[in-house]
Amino acid sequence: MSLLQHYEDQLTRLKHSGNLRTLTTNVQQARWITIQQHTMLNLSSNDYLGLASDLDLREQFLSQSSAYLSSSSSRLLTGNFAAYEECEDVIAKAFGREALLFNSGYHMNLGILPAITDAKTLILADKLVHASIIDGIRLSSATYVRYRHNDLVHLQTLLEKYHDDAAIERIIVVTESIFSMDGDETDLTALVKLKATFSKVMLYVDEAHAIGVRGERGLGCAEQYQVMDQIDFLVGTFGKALASIGGYLICHQVIKQYLINTMRPLIFSTALPPLNVAWTAYVFEHMQSMVAARSYLNQLSHDLQQQVRLKGYSSPSSSHLVPIIVGESDVALSKANVLQQHGFYIMPVRPPTVPKASARLRISLNASIQQAELAQLVQIL
Nearer to ligand PLP, 75 or 240 (CB): 240
Beta carbon of residue 235, minimum distance to ligand PLP (angstroms, whole number): 8
Would you count residue 237 as binding ligand PLP (CB under 6 A)?
yes
Instruction: Using CB atoms within 10 Å of the CB of residue 45, give its burial: 0 to 12 exposed, 13 to 18 middle, 19+ buried.
Output: middle
Nearer to ligand PLP, 31 or 209 (CB): 209
Contacts for 324 with CB less than 8 Å, ≥ 6 apart: 308, 313, 314, 315, 360, 361, 362, 363, 381
Stretch that binds ligand PLP, among 188-196, 205-213, 218-226, 366-374 (CB under 6 A): 205-213
One-letter amino acid for residue 374 of the chain: L
Stretch that binds ligand PLP, among 50-58, 103-111, 137-145, 339-347 (CB under 6 A): 103-111
CA of 329: how far to CAs of 84, 181, 302, in Å? Answer: 43, 15, 27
Would you count residue 176 as binding ligand PLP (CB under 6 A)?
yes
Strands 201-206 and 233-237: parallel
Would you count residue 362 as binding ligand PLP (CB under 6 A)?
no
Stretch that binds ligand PLP, among 32-40, 99-107, 145-153, 211-219 (CB under 6 A): 99-107
Beta carbon of residue 165, minimum distance to ligand PLP (angstroms, whole number): 29
User: How many residues of this chain bind ligand PLP (CB under 6 A)?
Assistant: 14
Strands (DSSP E) contained in 178-299 are 201-206, 233-237, 247-251
Q: Sort residue 261 into left (φ over 0), alpha (ψ -120 to 50) or beta.
A: alpha
Nearer to ligand PLP, 280 or 368 (CB): 280
Nearer to ligand PLP, 104 or 121 (CB): 104
Would you count residue 280 as binding ligand PLP (CB under 6 A)?
no
Would you count residue 209 as binding ligand PLP (CB under 6 A)?
yes
Instruction: DSSP for 29-90, please give it.
Output: ETTEEEETTEEEEE-S-S-TTS-TT-HHHHHHHHHT----S---S-IIIII--HHHHHHHHH
Beta carbon of residue 163, minimum distance to ligand PLP (angstroms, whole number): 26
Q: Considering only the C-alpha atoms of the chain, give the largest distance between any 2 of them, rounded to a whole number of Å.
A: 63
Would you count residue 247 as binding ligand PLP (CB under 6 A)?
yes
Phi, psi of 234 (to 5 degrees): -105, 110
Cα separation, 361 vs 310, whole angstroms: 16
Nearer to ligand PLP, 239 or 265 (CB): 239
The single-letter DSSP state of residue 371 is H
Would you count residue 177 as binding ligand PLP (CB under 6 A)?
no
Question: Which 129-168 positions form the footprint of ligand PLP (CB under 6 A)?
Answer: 130, 132
Taking a C-beta distance cutoff of 8 angstroms, is the pair 108, 237 a contact?
A: yes
Would you count residue 111 as binding ligand PLP (CB under 6 A)?
no
Taking a C-beta distance cutoff of 8 angstroms, is the pair 343, 39 a contact?
A: yes
Would you count residue 218 as binding ligand PLP (CB under 6 A)?
no
Beta carbon of residue 245, minimum distance to ligand PLP (angstroms, whole number): 7
Would you count residue 239 as binding ligand PLP (CB under 6 A)?
yes
Taking a C-beta distance cutoff of 8 angstroms, is the pair 219, 246 a contact?
A: no
**Site for ligand PLP, rule CB under 6 A:** 104-106, 109, 130, 132, 176, 180, 206, 208-209, 237, 239, 247
